[in-house]
Structure 1
Amino acid sequence: MNLTIIQLGIMHLNDCVDLDQKALNGLWSKSQWEKELTDPKRICLGIIELETKKLLGLSAAWLVIDELQITFIAVHPLYQRKGLGKFLLSDLIKRSKLLKTNYIHLEVKDNNESAKAFYKIMGFKTVGFRSNFYKDGSDALILNKEINNKS
């Protein structure tokens, strides 16, 4: 597969809604995606397969002063466990360093063992807990990664 990461914009709205539905059962509404894709303080990245132009993965994050808050990360179910999540998160970490942020934060369902293992491999540490965080009543773990901007 020939893949690239691009900055997503409003022209990708339907693809984002579709991938969200397939990967996470529609975590966000179309209007939420519209806001994510048009707000200049938000970063929306997508993994595109170059030959087909298909969106295979995407992430969204908010830049808040000197921190990056990852609000969404997903890979199409047919392409999971092929390194696309690592490709996407590594790009976000690289961008975070360029933006001179000090931390990256995210939440993950406390029962999502594969995601927790993935984030641990990527250098994230559990720093907190949110009770009843998700719309299905699940709890969330708060994870963060310190960004070393000294090098």
Structure 2
Amino acid sequence: MNLKIIQLGIMNLNDCLDLDQKSLNGLWTRSQWEKELTDPKRICLGIIELETKKLLGLCSAWLVVDELHITFIAVHPIHQRKGLGKFLLKDLIRRSKALKTNQIFLEVKNNNDPAKAFYKAMGFKTIGNRSNFYKDGSDALILNKETSNK
């Protein structure tokens, strides 16, 4: 596959909604995605297959002063476990360093062992817990990665 990471915009709204639905059962609403794709303080990256222009994965984050807060990361179910999430997250980390961020934060469901292992392999450490964070009542672990820009 010939892949490329691109900056997503409002023209990618329907693809983001579709990928969100297929990978995370529609975590965000249309209006949330519209905000994510148009707010200049947010980064929204997608990984596309060049021949088909199909969106295979995406991640988004909010820039808050000198911190980056990852709000969404997903890979289409039929393309999971192929390194696409790692490719996306590495690119986001590279971009965060160019933006002079000092830390990256994210939340992950406390019972999502594959995601926790993935983030640990990418250098994230657990620094806290948010009780009853998700719609289903699950707790969230707060993860952090220093980006060495201090």
Same structural fold, with TM-score higher than 0.5 when normalized by the shorter chain: yes
The RMSD of aligned alpha carbons is 0.6
State the one-letter code of the partner of 2:140: A
- CA drift of 1:89 comes to 0.2
Unaligned runs of 5+ in 2: none
2: CA distance, partners of 1:7 / 1:137: 33
2: CA distance, partners of 1:43 / 1:67: 12
Report the TM-score, using the length of structure 2 for normalisation.
0.99
Where does residue 3 of structure 2 map in the other structure?
Answer: 3
Q: 5 Å matches for 1:109-128?
A: 109-128=109-128
Where does residue 49 of structure 2 map in the other structure?
Answer: 49
Where does residue 94 of structure 1 map in the other structure?
Answer: 94
Report the TM-score, using the length of structure 1 for normalisation.
0.98
Where does residue 141 of structure 2 map in the other structure?
Answer: 141
Q: Count residues with an aligned counterpart.
A: 150
2:79 matches 1:82: no
- 1:78-136 CA-to-partner distances (Å, cap 9, x unmatched) read 00000000000000000011001000000000000000000000000000000010111
Where does residue 15 of structure 2 map in the other structure?
Answer: 15
Deviant stretches of 4+, over 3 Å: none
- CA drift of 1:36 comes to 0.2
- CA drift of 1:142 comes to 0.1
Unaligned runs of 5+ in 1: none
2:27 matches 1:33: no
- 1:5-61 CA-to-partner distances (Å, cap 9, x unmatched) read 000000000000000000000000011000000000000000000000000000010
State the one-letter code of the partner of 2:29: S
State the one-letter code of the partner of 2:138: S
2: CA distance, partners of 1:135 / 1:10: 27
